Amino acid sequence: MREVAVIGVGMSEWGELWRKPMRDIFVEAALAAIDDAGVDKIDSMYVGCMTSGLFVGQEHLASMMSDYLGRSGIPATRVESACASGGLAFRLGMIEVGSGVSDVVLVGGVEKMNDVGGDGATYALATAADQEYEVYHGVTFPGLYAMVANEHMARFGTTRQQLAHVAVKNHKHGSMNPRAQYPYEVTVDGVLKSVLVADPLRILDCSPITDGAAAAVICPLEMAKKISKKPLVKVTGSGHSTDSIALHDRHDLSEFAAAKRAAETAYKMAGVGPADIDFAEVHDCFTIAEICVIEALGFVKRGEGGKAAESGLTALGGKIPVNTSGGLKSKGHPVGATGVAQIVELTEQLRGESGKRQVKGARRGLAQNMGGTGGSSVVHILEVA
């Protein structure tokens, strides 16, 4: 396989974008990535999106987006794997470039979630769980992660305060990210006093509802060396794995095995291990998710994820900064866009463009994107070329 480089990245505005249609949100991000890459020609594109059908009543998305991007006619593919749609779109784009089928590929992700209101969003997001054997019984997404949290707390002694520390850390990082939807700091006390959603999770343990898009332009590394004017960033590892989408079908309820397997594949491909990673963007859709994911990625031992944010291990300046962008928690979580936005953060960090939240000497970053309660997971490793 050819080595693949990321030569351009971009994001739309993120937040409650009442005035902007979904197509414009996507095109805004795609144009930013294309301009950043400085390329004219796009051979093919991928669009990660979880459920535009339920959020805005629009499917057939890839053709529509390529048209509104002014590229009608090119092959365009929509990719769905719930909240991992963006990360999986990036992986498929990378495989297309790596295989030699295409040279310059645009990978974008988009979701417009606010139009349907709170109950509509709850319904749409719950389709990532088993409709007939989980959702039927009244469980919500926060409810499923709350059950993961209760199991982790009972088994490993993880504390309610430790969950809060994940939110505090990620909001602190997000306060340094001008693109974050909620760039405000929160306190442990503030998290503990916020409204209960599903015990023990409170509203400040949950990522927000976001409209937004992100995009990246990729090409063969050898081509990037000739055409790119930016510091070169290459993809060295990629992994993807699945699991049952029903949480109850897993005998270990707080181990995200798909994330673990995807990471093992990515580490093997890159020829590195968890200790070689300088910083990471992980799927903190809920505070407990970051705790379980950093265990699955091997950054900490099983059961010790709760201590990481509390001790500063995963904060900027710590041994392994996690979610320097603010994560899903503070930056926002337009579900189909999230996985691509993680690639944007990795690329900018590796280029040294992250301003106040720059990880000093960042050479190798990892992105982990997850669908549902871990029924799918995609991991990428990017390095300075």
- Smallest separation, CB 143 to another protein (Å): 5
Give me the 106-135 binding string for another protein, x by CB under 8 A, dash otherwise.
-------------x--xx--x---x-xxxx
- Residue 142 or 174: the one with the smaller Cβ distance to another protein is 142
Binding mask 62-101 for another protein (x = CB under 8 A): ----------------------------------------
Among 150, 158, 323, 368, binds another protein (CB under 8 A): 150
d(CA 81, CA 48): 8
Nearer to another protein among residue 161 and residue 194 (C-beta): 194
Question: 34 or 135, CB closer to another protein?
Answer: 135
- Give the Cα separation of 249 and 350 in Å (integer): 39
Q: Does 265 bind another protein (CB under 8 A)?
A: no
* Residue 143 sits in the site that holds another protein (CB under 8 A): yes
Catalytic residue, from 83, 206, 285, 292: name it: 83
Distances in whole angstroms, Cα of residue 333 to Cα of each of 5, 123, 283, 329, 351? 25, 16, 10, 7, 24
Per-residue buried b or exposed e for 164-187, using 16+ beta carbons within 10 Å of the residue's own CB: bbbbbbbbbbbbbbebbbbbeebe
- 252 is a site residue for another protein (CB under 8 A): no
Q: How far is the CB of 256 from another protein (least distance, A)?
A: 15
CB 249 within 8 A of CB 286: no
Strands of the chain (E only): list them: 4-11, 44-48, 76-79, 105-112, 196-198, 201-202, 211-220, 233-242, 279-281, 364-371, 376-384
What whole-number distance in Å separates Cα of residue 328 and Cα of residue 38? 28
Chosen residue from 57, 73, 138, 317 binding another protein by CB under 8 A:
138
Of residues 139 and 315, the one with the C-beta less far from another protein: 139
Instruction: Work out whether 285 is an interface residue with another protein (CB under 8 A).
Output: no
Element (H, E) at 344: helix 335-351
Q: Which of 253, 257, 269, 385 binds another protein (CB under 8 A)?
A: 253
Q: Which is closer to another protein, CB of 182 or CB of 286? A: 286
Q: Is 58 in the site for another protein (CB under 8 A)?
A: no
CA distance 335 to 127: 13
Sheet of 376-384, strand order: 76-79, 44-48, 105-112, 211-220, 4-11, 233-242, 376-384, 364-371, 279-281
Look-up: residue for tokens 């010790």? 304
Nearest distance from C-beta of residue 4 to another protein, angstroms: 35
**Is 333 designated active site?**
yes
152 is a catalytic site residue: no
Residues 183-202 that bind another protein (CB under 8 A): 195-201
- Give the residue numbers annotated as catalytic, written as ranges: 83, 333
Residues that bind another protein (CB under 8 A): 119, 122-123, 126, 130, 132-140, 142-143, 146-148, 150-151, 154, 195-201, 246-249, 251, 253
